[in-house]
Amino acid sequence: MNLEDAKRKVKEELHKLRHESREGISRIAFEIEHCDPLLWLRSQDFQKCIYWKSRDSDFVCAGIEEALFIRGRNFFSYKDIFSEIRRFLSTAHLEIRFYGGMRFPIKNIDSEWRDFGGFYFFVPLFELINKGSKSYFVCNVKTPIKDMEAILKKLVLINTHIDSGQSITPMSYILREDIPDKDEWKKEVKETIKEIKKNRLVKVVLARRSSFKLKNPFDPFSLLADPKYKGERAYHFLIKPSFHAMFLSMTPERIFLRRGDNLEAEAVAGTRKRGVTEQEDEALSLELKKSRKELTEHRLVSELLRKKLASICTTFQVKEKETLLKLSYMQHLYTKFSGTLKRGVSDSDIISLLYPNPAIAGYPVEYALRKIEEVEEFDRGWYSGPFGWVAQDCAEFVVSIRSGLFVKDTLYLYSGAGIVSESDPEMEWEELNYKIQNFTSFLRHDSSSA
């Protein structure tokens, strides 16, 4: 079945639901011939959209418009958010997912993040899903249906002619601004190291925002479709809450995956860039695995995670210990845990316990958050916040790093570095640069427009 045929079938099924009086979320799904969800999404022109690719690419979803949503502008309670999601899912089809995210837990909201608010989750009205080798066209609809005509109009507007081009042309920018700049960064790092040596803190993750005034539009869809990223072991997601704002991430870091009472969680901390040659890459990998600083950072995260899992699991084990997670431009130390949850532990309990962790904030976490709020002169927004999906009997969340925010003609890139007593300000600055290289490798400075 092709997409046009699937659209006609969905329309027929929607008409059958016209008089459905029971409250719930219904799902209409048809298997179709293979179709790339990312390229399908790129061909659409809707105000709201979502894209999610699992780390191993065994599940990919592109969604447009809202069947229903929850959102809040201000700071939030994890318990309240998940309770509201669970209320809707209690009467939903088992495969329906809420997708969305939450901001980093600091309370100031700058203008560039206004469309995202404190949290935003939605069930897409229409989805194109790849599950394994199969593709599906899906319509999710809340019943009783209040405005059938609006849904049918959106169905008609779905473009079935998909542009298969995957090449990306380097984009030009007119101006770059870093907050903090290099001199200010070095000063902040040196002052933070002094505090660490006074035993007030063990680690603080300081971040930088790099803004690029673009000369022409940047295509985030073709960026995600680039072959060097498409096959790497990272989660890819983007969310567009309005026509002029979009947040995109290619993150290696999972907070947790829950299937029933089975839980997986990870420590991803300790970083080196990838080598240009195989020999250089091997040398950098060995350097990472033997670095006292990087091992200290990683074990701080993994040992704290171990203690926290002991409080919510009946049993748990280490599946992989201090192995390497290699991406296109980066490599990280990686430890994976799996366990069985105690009875009554909820998703809000899990995320409240595991996030934020020392890899994304510092340690002790509460004091590190205060330091970040005191030092940083920009709003992290959803950068390094939790993003993921929730279904009836499973949920998964990742950390929104390796990320960019597109607002009109400006691209904001965010990166952070873990500051400990052995940190070198110059090396940490370089780490910030290669953590945004997945974006900056496609950017070119146009000095003629400056």
Cβ atoms 189, 203 nearer than 8 A: no
pLDDT score recorded for residue 43: 92
Phi first, then psi: give them for residue 162, nearest 5 degrees. Answer: -100, 130
Q: Mind listing the pLDDT tens digit of every residue in the chain (450 residues)?
A: 999 999 999 999 999 998 888 999 999 999 999 999 999 999 999 999 999 999 988 999 999 999 999 999 876 789 999 999 999 999 899 999 999 999 999 876 778 999 999 999 999 999 999 999 999 999 999 999 999 999 999 999 999 988 776 566 678 899 999 999 999 999 999 999 999 998 889 999 999 999 999 998 778 887 888 877 777 889 999 999 999 999 999 999 999 999 999 999 999 999 899 999 999 999 999 999 999 989 988 999 999 999 999 999 999 999 999 999 998 888 999 999 999 999 999 999 999 999 999 999 999 999 999 999 999 999 999 999 999 999 999 999 999 999 999 998 999 999 999 999 989 999 999 999 999 998 998 888 887 755
Q: C-alpha angle with apex 49: 46 to 53, nearest 5 degrees?
A: 140
Are β-strands 171-179 and 134-143 bridged in parallel, bridged antiparallel, or unpaired?
unpaired
pTM of the model: 0.94
pLDDT score recorded for residue 247: 97
Where in the chain are all domains bearing CATH 3.60.120.10? 171-218+253-449
Tell which CATH classification among 3.90.1150.10, 3.30.70.120, 3.60.120.10, 1.10.3720.10 matches the domain 171-218+253-449.
Answer: 3.60.120.10
User: Rounded to whole angstroms, how far apart are CA atoms 412 and 213?
Assistant: 9
pLDDT score recorded for residue 75: 66
pLDDT score recorded for residue 167: 62
Cβ atoms 73, 117 nearer than 8 A: yes
